[in-house]
Amino acid sequence: MAFPDSKLTPGEIFPGVTAAQVCVSGWAEAHRNVTEEVRHQVFAEYGLSYGVHGSYEVDHLIPLELGGSNDIRNLWPEPQGGSQPGYPSKDRLENRLHQLVCGGSVALATAQHAIATNWWAAYTTYLATPAPSLPAPPAPVTSPASSPSRSSGGGGLPVVHPGAFCSDAGAHGVTTRGTPMTCKTTASDSRLRWRSAA
């Protein structure tokens, strides 16, 4: 199991960030800004050749969904995991903590501390079973603001949260406001996420 070096990656948040901010649809996506130069720097700090980046993701220790910043002190090269839990499990934890924070069950500061201190301990506290590292990607996450009576949007589409991870490329959903979303990647982020269908 991989953990970041706490001296290199203690975790950083956007100053003054609140739960109300991170729970706004699209907040994380709008604040994602890690340049290719910084990605190379993260690998160098950890003594890894950037040539192996295909087996890693540059991860926000405290995720953007919980107010984590793009500062290099919040970034680390997280391995996929292989037979051990890796970024698919941590991504699942990030989505769950975001749901709990936005649902009012967990304070934002509590979630930030839990994931920055020991993400696996937080995982075992907030989730029951590890997400598979290979070959299946993380499961789609519905909007934390949705309730059982609003679990599907217009046309029977699932209600989804922009920027949340998803697993079926090309799948369609809608936000709680009815904005059409598609599960897809972008040129700057190769992971499947719910993004605007436009």
Of these ranges, 42-46, 80-84, 159-163, 165-169, the one predicted with the greatest mean pLDDT is 42-46
User: What pLDDT does 143 receive?
Assistant: 38
pLDDT at residue 71 tops 90? yes
Chain center to CA of 148: 23
> How does residue 39 score in pLDDT terms, banded at 50, 70 and 90?
very high
- Tell me the domain boundaries of the chain: 1-134, 137-198
User: What pLDDT does 56 receive?
Assistant: 84
pLDDT at residue 118 tops 70? yes
| C-alpha–C-alpha distance, residues 60 and 71, integer Å | 9
Strand blocks (E) in 62-179: 75-79, 172-174
| C-alpha–C-alpha distance, residues 78 and 172, integer Å | 29
Rounded alpha-carbon distances, angstroms, from residue 184 to 40, 96, 130, 180: 24, 20, 23, 13
Burial class (CB within 10 angstroms; exposed 0-12, middle 13-18, buried 19+) of 129: exposed
Q: Write out pLDDT tens, residues 174-188.
A: 776 677 878 788 777
Whether 164 and 145 have beta carbons less than 8 Å apart is answered as no
Residues 6+ positions from 87 with CB-CB distance below 8 Å:
57, 59, 78, 79, 80, 81, 133
Of these ranges, 141-145, 146-150, 151-155, 179-183, the one predicted with the greatest mean pLDDT is 179-183
| C-alpha–C-alpha distance, residues 122 and 158, integer Å | 27
Work out the number of other CB atoms within 10 angstroms of the CB of residue 187: 5
User: What pLDDT does 63 receive?
Assistant: 95
